[in-house]
Amino acid sequence: MAANPETVLSRRDKRKQYAAELRALTPTGQILHSDEDLRPYESDGLTLFKAAPLVVVLPASVEEVQAVLKWASERSVPVVARGAGTGLSGGALPHEDGILLGLAKFNQILELNPEHGYARVQPGVRNLAISDAARPHGLYYAPDPSSQIACTIGGNVAENSGGVHCLKYGLTVHNILAIKVVTIEGELLTIGAPGCDDAGYDLMALLTGSEGMLAVTVEVMVKLLPVPPLAKLVMAAFDSVEDAGDAVGRVIAEGIIPAGLELMDNPAIRAAEDFAGCGYPVDAAAVLLCELDGTEAEVEAQIGRVSDVFNASNAKTLHIANSEEERLLLWKGRKSAFPAVGRLSPDYYCIDGTIPRRELSKVLARMDELSKEFNLRIANVFHAGDGNLHPLILYDASIEGESERTERLGSEILQLCVAVGGTVTGEHGVGVEKINEMCVQFDTHTLEQFHAVKAAFDPNGLLNPGKVVPTLQRCAEFGAMHVHKGQLPHPDIERF
């Protein structure tokens, strides 16, 4: 922060003033503004970036959210909305001159209607809590991001979250019916409908995954699906990642869409096994976890075919989970791959690119080279069914220069994903993290159109400013960096 005492003072005064005004607008809510109280809100799941907002406001009713946004709009104050703060791209990184709008108090399931297969929930309800509430009725909410125990449905809508079962059951956008949102002007409106579609443009699709840039979600109507009567998990070990990748293509070619199809490379297998003790073959180059679900007859018919495919793809061992406990344990290993890798190294950085699956071997080989070039280890977990790759870069932030090297390696990997026809983010969102790489993926006109879409909802750019879509100036600067092959010509330029 600037050392100028006047700036410090005015910032403090502003904070006091905002806090007082917001307190009056949110009589049942809560206002936080001491340095100590603000600290937990300085970053989300991506701790590389930190910033303190002027004030954190935790409204307790929709009317209070409306009042806060109307106030922000009138005062031209930036607003960053936040759920549980588990996001991995800095989407909930506060704005230093703005307020952080926490939705933690919106933690109620408003209605659970098992007969009609839906639930109406507040945005601060945890993803897993919805399925827990629905399960006694034989129903569940399908998207299951690995952070589902903590992440909230509001954040899921903002990020269009997926999960290990999204190959078959889709992303958030496929599993929600309607949302209530508040615009930056403080107006409340319902988007979507309890039926299959709504009149006019598909604003549900536009708002889902819009990372808090267009409106603030205050209620979500989710679809509840019947729990599959049976789920079986096949684990196959391979001597080469290439064979495992080929096996994935062959399963699809067989006409089978597994509920989940996950690939881990050897470093990830070792880390997960060390962490969860779930029985992974630690000497394998790659492991595939393939889950089949459905009626008993469907699953039994498919399990044999999948096993045949794996055998024909040179699987060296094949194991079908013997019990529900074992099935869950094998998934636990996969779902805890991130923290598991975290134990191998003081810090890790998770990348989120998607590639056409056929490019897997090429991408992994190139990543191996990059790993050596940057002298940083990489472990890979891969939502193989849908091509979503999560390389985990292992680094030590206490070693000077290693964080910067990690960021640069991450950026190289994302650009590699784009080069093979993929995308810079499959499910974690752009946030602040991948904003430069957006310049690589989209041309000038398309980026300008994104800005125009934003302006249609938020003409003064107050909702989550500076995220998701880079300014053209920033792209010009980033483009210039590339001429120098990753060597930053101006390390002092603010990059994020």
- Across 21-43, b (16+ Cβ under 10 Å) vs e yields bbeebbeebbbbbeeeebeebbb
Cβ proximity to other proteins, 231 vs 271, nearer residue: 231
Least Å distance between CB 260 and other proteins? 13
Cβ proximity to other proteins, 18 vs 140, nearer residue: 140
Cβ proximity to other proteins, 58 vs 241, nearer residue: 241
Distance from chain centroid for Cα 15: 31
Least Å distance between CB 232 and other proteins? 14
Q: How far is CA 194 from CA 175, 181, 267, in A?
A: 12, 16, 45
Least Å distance between CB 194 and other proteins? 4
Cβ proximity to other proteins, 52 vs 425, nearer residue: 425
HSE value, Cβ hemisphere, 13 Å, CA-based, for 265: 22
228 close to 257: Cβ distance less than 8 angstroms: no
Least Å distance between CB 27 and other proteins? 25
Least Å distance between CB 24 and other proteins? 25
Checking 440-446 for CB contacts under 8 A at 24+ apart, the result is: 440/414, 440/415, 444/472, 444/475
Least Å distance between CB 195 and other proteins? 5
Give the closest residue to 184 by CA, choosing from 56, 75, 92, 87. Answer: 75
- Written as six digits, the tokens of 103 are 């939705």
Least Å distance between CB 346 and other proteins? 29
42 close to 94: Cβ distance less than 8 angstroms: yes
Cβ proximity to other proteins, 167 vs 233, nearer residue: 167
Q: Is 75 helix (H, G, I), strand (E, B) or coil?
A: helix
Least Å distance between CB 453 and other proteins? 5
Count Cβ atoms within 10 A of the Cβ of residue 195 and give its class: 0-12 exposed, 13-18 middle, 19 or more buried: exposed
Count Cβ atoms within 10 A of the Cβ of residue 398 and give its class: 0-12 exposed, 13-18 middle, 19 or more buried: exposed
Q: Is 272 helix (H, G, I), strand (E, B) or coil?
A: helix
Cβ proximity to other proteins, 22 vs 261, nearer residue: 261
Cβ proximity to other proteins, 273 vs 433, nearer residue: 433
Least Å distance between CB 201 and other proteins? 5
Name the maximum alpha-carbon separation found in the chain: 73
> Which residues is 365 bridged to in the sheet?
none
Cβ proximity to other proteins, 191 vs 337, nearer residue: 191
Distance from chain centroid for Cα 357: 20
Cβ proximity to other proteins, 225 vs 285, nearer residue: 225
Residues 6 or more apart whose Cβ sits within 8 Å of residue 300: none
